[in-house]
Structure 1
Amino acid sequence: MNDRDALPGLAPLFEPPYYAVIFTSLRTTVDAGYGEMAERMVALAAEQPGYLGVESTRGADGLGITVSYWQSLEAIQAWRAVAEHRAARDQGRADWYRHYALRIARVERSYGWSRADGVEDPTLR
């Protein structure tokens, strides 16, 4: 494990190819258990076959971006079909989100840098 793998909030780098599900949302002011449900969805996703990791952030203005990483399109489709996830999606539309957009992308290449790596450009490795 390198320094980058241990950073809180950052998913480790995975061996490409893999898939990224990019969920961008704008929240309402309704709380109604949102934080608990968000934590539950992360934990539930982590139990699914093909799940690799997640990164998520939300600003004070309600704009959030969550990127989950998956081994295959089939794993993403299976996650979409999980009943508890479907129920959370329905509640999100009813209570928590003013808008959301979902994008699925195939990751062909990934690299990173950490201060512990020195000043060398990681793309030259």
Structure 2
Amino acid sequence: MNTKFHPYYAVIFTSKHSNTLEGYTEMAIQMEQLAKEQPGFLGMDSARNDIGITVSYWESLDSITQWKQHSDHLVAQRKSRNHWYSWYNVKICKVEREYEF
């Protein structure tokens, strides 16, 4: 991810799977590919053990809103609530600074 540093936004999605995961992997792959095509998308990091954490990075709050309201993403959200997740939490944060080693 290259932001040529300007402040940007991170959407932190933390979740626990339910016992029903049929179709989940396919949908997750489809949503990641679709997110990459959205205006304002900067990148994504993800890890999963007992709890999953996916952080997606966006140029603006407007780009996050547009992604949340995308028709295919709305279908995935509904299936997630009804089938794939027993719990989730979303946090939206502004990244003011970053560094790495």
Name the count of aligned residue pairs: 100
Tell which structure's C-alpha radius of gyration is larger. Answer: 1
TM-score, structure 2 as length reference: 0.95
| SS of the residue 1:20 aligns to | strand
> How far apart are the structure 2 equivalents of 1:92 and 1:70?
22
For 2:98, the equivalent position in structure 1 comes to: 110
The answer to whether the 8 A contact 2:2-2:42 is kept is no
| SS of the residue 2:76 aligns to | helix
The answer to whether the 8 A contact 1:13-1:112 is kept is no
> How far apart are the structure 2 equivalents of 1:104 and 1:44?
20
Higher RCO (Cα < 8 Å, 6 or more apart): 2
Structure 1 unaligned runs (5+)? 1-11, 114-125
Structure 2 unaligned runs (5+)? none
> How far apart are the structure 2 equivalents of 1:13 and 1:111?
12
> How far apart are the structure 1 equivalents of 2:61 and 2:7?
11
Is 1:25 matched up with 2:18?
A: no
Q: Deviations over 1:30-77 (max 9, x none)?
A: 111101111111100000000000000110x2x100000000000000
